[in-house]
Amino acid sequence: RAKKANLHNRKLRDCRVHLNTKDKKAEYSSIFIVEGDSAAGSLTACRDVATQAVFALKGKPLNTYGLSKRVCYENEEFNLLQAALNIENGLDDLRYNKVIIATDADVDGMHIRLLLISFFVQFFPDLIRNGHLSILQTPLFRVRNKKKTLYCYSEIEKNRAMDDLGKSHEVTRFKGLGEISAGEFKDFIGKAIRLDPVTLAQVHDTDKLLGFYMGKNTAQRQEFIIENLMVEKDLVNA
């Protein structure tokens, strides 16, 4: 059985209110799955301790494609994660309304997202079908001058911010969540939080879906990526 989600779950910085209670704030309960102690530290320092929990991964999780559900118990991180969510026997006692994957916006971060989504698709698809799984959007840039600071989630937003602030501005490119201070992070996980929901239609054949994206068909996947690749131009140089 999965280890119980309590103070002994060293990966979990828990909150006080959970979905499987009658608390009036239960629907606001959420858990952020982050990569590494640095990002976990920033989030933990600025979160709402009543409704926001943090679960820290250590490096990249295991690729579970083709494995049996035994991995949920034999792999320590997945064992502790399913225990934190309390989904071993289904969603009836799910502890958080929103399960939020919060990784860096780089290649490694995207890979971790994919591995986590694959884990949930394979073993807990109803978590996705019931709208509980999301991706946290985090700013890529900070544009500021002496009077104003703007956070930007894309090149387009960055260029607009640069125009708005005029010539006397500086631009910072965030390389990872660990570079964002707790004071700044508070704005990104509060009322202005941006979430991309992960969806899974009932008609999707999950085995076929996972086989294509996580299997050993590297050449076929590479061809698909090349054919569907979209390049966002930097409008400054356009």
Question: Kind and range of the H or E element at 79?
Answer: helix 76-85
Beta bridge partners of 170: 144
H-helix or E-strand containing 119?
Answer: helix 107-123
Catalytic status, residue 23: no
d(CA 112, CA 35): 8
Give catalytic status of residue 207 as yes or no.
no
* 106 given a catalytic annotation: yes
Catalytic residue among 27, 74, 108, 234: 108
- The answer to whether the CB of 80 falls within 8 A of the CB of 45 is no
Residue 163 annotated to the active site: no
The values of phi and psi at residue 134, to 5°, are -140, 165
Active-site residue (options: 27, 74, 76, 106): 106
Measuring CA to CA, which residue among 119, 128, 43 is closest to residue 14?
43
Asked if residue 214 lies in contact with residue 65, where contact means CB atoms within 8 angstroms, the answer is yes
3-state secondary structure (DSSP) of residue 98: strand
In angstroms, the CA 96 to CA 27 distance is 8
Which positions are annotated as active-site residues?
A: 35, 104, 106, 108
